Chains A and B, each alone.
Chain A
Amino acid sequence: MSGRLAFLYPEIALFVATCVVMVLGLSRTLKARKASAWVAGLGLVAAGVLAMASTPRMGQASCPISGFVYHDGLTPAMGQVVLAEMVPYVKVMIAGIGLLLLLTMAGTVDREDEARIAAGQAVFDPLRSNRAEFYAFVLFSLTGLMLTASADDLIWLFLALELTSLPTYIMVAISTARNRSREAAVKYFFLGALGAAIFLYGFALMYGGTGHTNLNAIAQHFREHGVSTLSMAGVLLAVFGLCFKIAAVPMHFYTPDVYEGAAPQVSGFLAFVPKTAGFVALLLIVGAVGWEYAGHSAGVTSLFAGDGMEPVKHAAGGRQLPELLRLTLWVIAALTMTVGNVLALLQSSVKRVLAYSSIAHSGYMLVGLIAGPVGSTFTTNGVSAILFYLAAYGVMNTGAFAVLAALERGRDAEGHVGEAESFDDLRGLCASRPMLGWVLVVCSLSLLGLPPLLGFFGKLPLFSVGIAAGEIPLVIVLGLNSAIAAYYYLRLAFTPLLDAKDEGSAAIQAAPFKGRAVAAALSAAGVLVLSLAGGWLMTKAAHAGAYYPSAPVKAESAPISDEPAPLPNDVHE
């Protein structure tokens, strides 16, 4: 068991921090509860450091902190093998961007109460304060996200995904005092449950098709016996269910409503955390299937004939996903990009634009998933491209949401603090609040993918890997969609920069929370630094995307292996 723990040091650190935060949430003084944010930050830093230092890596004789030793040189005895190298990368990325997100969370809950206490109009009531619980939810969700990356088993994966999502439903509900947040939370919860049901059903069918829940065992089964119809149905259902997490068509409907209903900082959290969880889970599932099948260029006539589903050991034509999975993902990717972008065109609310564009970005990343690891370099490995894009998207998107979170308009009739929501609210922001304005300009242009900003370097490998995999039509769709995205991202960049301030935007003021502005500034700085000197991150991503399709697998224990698995070929009848 100690071997498995070696993978989990970051999660343990984060969980300990979560417990401390929850205990702080029981304290009777406001001061102690205010410490919860700092504890959460410390926990994330510790998790990041541990992820960097303690995670066992391929080809490493032993691990520095955990003392974990690999069996057989290349093969870890635990953890999933196929994409093992991505685990530390993903966890460090989660810790880093988690810190940015944590900064944006300043003042999200209990604002009114604490303002009254500060003004001497009320005394601190331990029962009414949600502050520590809110930070605990943030940490729970991030813990779940890290556990997703560690998963080597379908059951573990399901639990980790739910741990990621469940706290976010509550975070959406309590993020503002308005009814629309509650409405958003309810929608998010029910649709999320539907999505979870779908991928859980998919997992069940995968187990039915292979007789394993262990991802390594499933991968080995697929390598040896091919993908049976039942397993393929399971994989497709899992993919569809996970489309909910990444907000891809046809599971994207909730996105704009939920993002609009939640406070901007929580929307920013939703745009990164569940999306990352979804992509990591997709990589695990699709990676278990593998990109080892005879390509469409090799002249496969039947989509589902047994031959086409067999992994090819030494592919002469292209290597790719099983044709049916490829086609499904292809259609999802094309639709997701297009639907996200064309609907973003029509919006006047910045949050809705960012929500639809978040859909579109998922579509872009799916190109990397379809292409897969064509080669091993940064520009030829779709897995690396996704991993890099996730980090880039996390930084620049958090910056955009942090700017929205750092702005507010005066109270409305019901006493609620208004949000800076529409494009009109942002007019002349570069003149009135230069720092926030320029952060928004930089982040929007980066999200657009304008060279030489970070977003461009994120999108470039998606293009190159698409071309390398021979997915030319999809790359053309990707290019067209990047052009459509220019329309609304340029609007988002130029409204603060070029439009003059008017009476509408004059009502906009800075939110009284330094953390949000700091998060915005850090994001923009991150975008600029990574744009100019992001080579190291590309190298890391290239390593993290390493793909071991045929590494000998040693499952610690094949769970429930004494049960006879249904033979894959039986299902055909």
Chain B
Amino acid sequence: MLDGLAHMLVTLGDGGALSSGIARAAAGADLIKLVPAITLGATAMCGVFAAMKVKSKLPAWFSVASLAACFGVVLAVFLGHDGTPRVAHAFDWINFSWTISENRASVTHDLVSNFAFYVDSLTLLWMLFVTGLAALIALYASEYMSHDVGAGYCRFFAAFNLFVFSMSCLVMGDNLLLTFLGWEGVGLCSYLLIGYYYTKDSAVAAGKKAFIMNRIGDLGFVLGLMSTYVAFGTLEYDRLFDLIGRGVDGAGQPITGTWVVQVIPFLFAIGAFGKSAQIFFYVWLPDAMEGPTPVSALIHAATMVTAGVFLIARLYPLFAADDAKLALSFVAWSGALTALWAATIEMAIFDIKRVMGYSTISQLGFMFAGLGLLTPTGAAYHTFTHAFFKATLFLGVGAVMHGFGGQLDLRRLSGVAWMRGFGLVGVAMLIGSINLSGVPGTAGFFSKDMILAQGFTTPGTTIWGAQAVGWILLVTAGMTAYYTFRTYFRVYVGPKEFTPGEDAHAHDDHHGHGHKEDFDPTTAEFDPHPPGAPMKVAIGLGMALTLLAAIPYFMGGHAARGEHAAPGGWVGGMVAHSSAAYNTPHEGFSFLGLTSHAAMYFISAGVGAVGLLIAAYLHGPKGWQGLWIGNRTEAATSRADALVPLLGRVVTFARNKWYVDEIYDFLIVKPLWVLSHVLYFIDQWVVDGLVNLFGAAPGMTGKAIRPTQNGELHGYAAWMAGGLAVVLLVVILVAT
């Protein structure tokens, strides 16, 4: 049966038999224009609902319906897509051309940046999971945000729809400027939604931090965008890829070995690092967990933070055009170090939502490492699977927060899966966890394997230190299994025990549900509030999709026609038909006669098993739930506590996130503060003085000529006649 399904999907993916007929006739690439239109319309409608003071869940249902419609549109376009990139032109936005003469030849330049959408397989891959998950998470949020029905509810869904609009501009833009518009748009929505609880200082601060850190990365994007225009004279992808494919810049000069390929990719990489929370920039993402959990699930786990991966995949020809692959080596190393760094922090902290936040950073590190290791397919596939399993994990964590008054401390929760109404959450968390830690047979296992194996396959001569990157990733994979199951063993299994969170000090404020008294932590009769139907449906669907995400790995792009299966299966086939297509090196090490990927199945499974067993030993409950090696009997303590004195300060440091925020404060914020005060002084007394001097000139001119405007008819007529007389006098003088 699975074979049949796989075969069906293969044919769909190939634009074969099933996609002909109605679907194909109805679904030209032009249809994709509906997605931004629908989402923007939905944003406006949420504004209208707010203006009408709607006090029901109408905005949520409206959003779910419109996002589901978007998913339908994307699916229809996908079914009708034959692998050739298309441009769907919506309307002209910026469209200038001018002619200047250079060396006696007139040269026409243009600046074209229209609302047009570049539809290739990479676009569709991203849009499929963006719109699909957005619809799912909107459904989840309809219940999760129900404490705020009214103005806040409309505001939430307006920003939510605006986010999907921006994301569709980012992913589908046919030029860098439209991509940048979407890029800034998602940044704005992220800021709005992190700071959703705007009365809470920490949420406001987190929103600002995310915004500012992102702006620093955006500087790289903007510089890259402008440099691209300077070098290639265009911002449109099809023209850009054509030029890069021919190895020339806009003036027809070869680009090999010039600044074009050596500098521009670094600029875009910086931009990508900012958005995707990579090394030096990652500090905003853990704080972004201040936002409502559906936001964390959609924006800060599944979609927006993968925009950096998308950007590099979209511009892969530019990155790959450098023979020395300097920028890609930089990306690979940054990704690997980020993955390792975040994993060390996760192993020490207790806040389960922040664990998920750091885990996202770590997994994004894997994706970047994949891009750097020349396997955009691996990166895209890991993005794809990660979107599903991380969203599921976040939805599960959200259900716990929702149910226990915002409690997130893993020392205060135990055996949640056994409590009434939380069974589904337990199962979902287990499925998410086995994917995240890479248990064999799961989607996460296969996608991570593609990247890990590539570390030992890509020659170190191409990507500097590829093997070292591979080792770092392998160690991180073990740590991932440990910290994932540490949370799972502590929170979801074991003896039933909990302390409800203090509503007011929680990450999410939950006012109401009509039984506010539940949230008084002093009363012993706190009743956990199990997720309702919409949340359960969303969690269940997320779980199912996570499980199904493994299937595409076995759907060879062209296997049906007897060709060699593209690595990465269906996703590989999609990537191979997009801008991210790259001839990934295959021939690498072999181990016990197995190919690199097959060998890595066993190695990574072994490493993951070690991490999992350590977690079970240190944190697992007594009995089968702890795989018979754990001995935890209460929520607060475990064997790991004994390790803390042994490791000494290391744990304290990791628990305090290696004091990176403090270091940034000391190295960057404080000096900037001093500098700003010095500059303010200069500005106040020197610059302003000069400006005021110049600024006074127009005013003084005005005062000088004001008397001419005295309101007297005779005066006016005299001035008019006088002006005319002066000019005629000049004419006569000059002419004779």
Contact = CB atoms under 8 A, between A and B. Distances in A.
A487 B699 CA distance: 11
Interchain residue pairs A-B with the least CB separation, the first 4? A250-B723, A535-B92, A342-B702, A253-B716
Interface string A257-280: 100000000000000000000000
A343 B713 contact: no
Contacts of A187: 713, 716
A233 B728 contact: yes
A377 B98 contact: yes
Contacts of B105: none
Contacts, number: 98
Interface stretch (A14-22, A190-198, A398-406, A490-498): A190-198
Interface stretch (B17-25, B380-388, B426-434, B703-711): B703-711
Given A229-B735, A250-B723, A535-B91, 9 more contacts: A190-B713, A249-B723, A324-B734, A342-B698, A342-B699, A343-B702, A380-B99, A533-B93, A535-B95
B592 interface: no
Interface string A450-489: 0000000000000010001000000000000000100100
A335 B698 CA distance: 13
A320 to B, nearest CB: 17
Given A186-B713, A339-B705, A346-B699, A253 B719 contact: yes
Given A187-B713, A191-B720, A257-B711, A240 B702 contact: no
Interface residues of B, number: 35
A38 B92 CA distance: 35
A343 B709 contact: yes
Nearest to A465: B98
Interface string B35-75: 00000000000000000000000000000000000000000
B642 interface: no
Given A249-B723, A345-B702, A256 B96 contact: no
B699 A345 contact: yes
Interface of B: 91-93, 95-99, 114-115, 698-699, 701-703, 705-706, 708-709, 711, 713, 715-717, 719-724, 727-728, 731, 734-735
Contacts of B93: 532-533, 535
A285 interface: no
30 contacts: A190-B713, A191-B713, A191-B716, A191-B720, A195-B720, A198-B724, A229-B735, A233-B728, A240-B724, A249-B723, A250-B720, A253-B708, A253-B715, A256-B709, A338-B701, A342-B701, A342-B702, A345-B698, A346-B699, A346-B702, A346-B706, A375-B98, A378-B96, A484-B698, A487-B698, A532-B93, A535-B91, A535-B92, A535-B95, A538-B95
Q: How large is the interface on A (under 10, 10 to 19, 20 to 34, 35 or more residues)?
A: 35 or more
Interface in A201-258: 229, 232-233, 236-237, 240, 244, 249-251, 253-254, 256-257
Given A194-B720, A236-B731, A254-B716, A536 B699 contact: no
B99 A375 contact: yes
Contacts of A198: 724
Given A191-B716, A194-B717, A342-B701, A250 B724 contact: yes
A181 interface: no
A307 B98 CA distance: 31
Given A251-B720, A342-B702, A346-B699, A379 B728 contact: no
A343 B706 contact: yes
B730 to A, nearest CB: 9
B91 A533 contact: yes
Contacts of A484: 698
B724 A379 contact: no
Contacts of B698: 341-342, 345, 484, 487
A156 interface: no
B735 A377 contact: no
Q: Which among B92, B708, B720, B727 has the greatest number of chain A C-beta atoms within 10 A?
A: B720
A236 B727 contact: yes
A5 interface: no
Interface in A316-346: 324, 328, 338-339, 341-343, 345-346
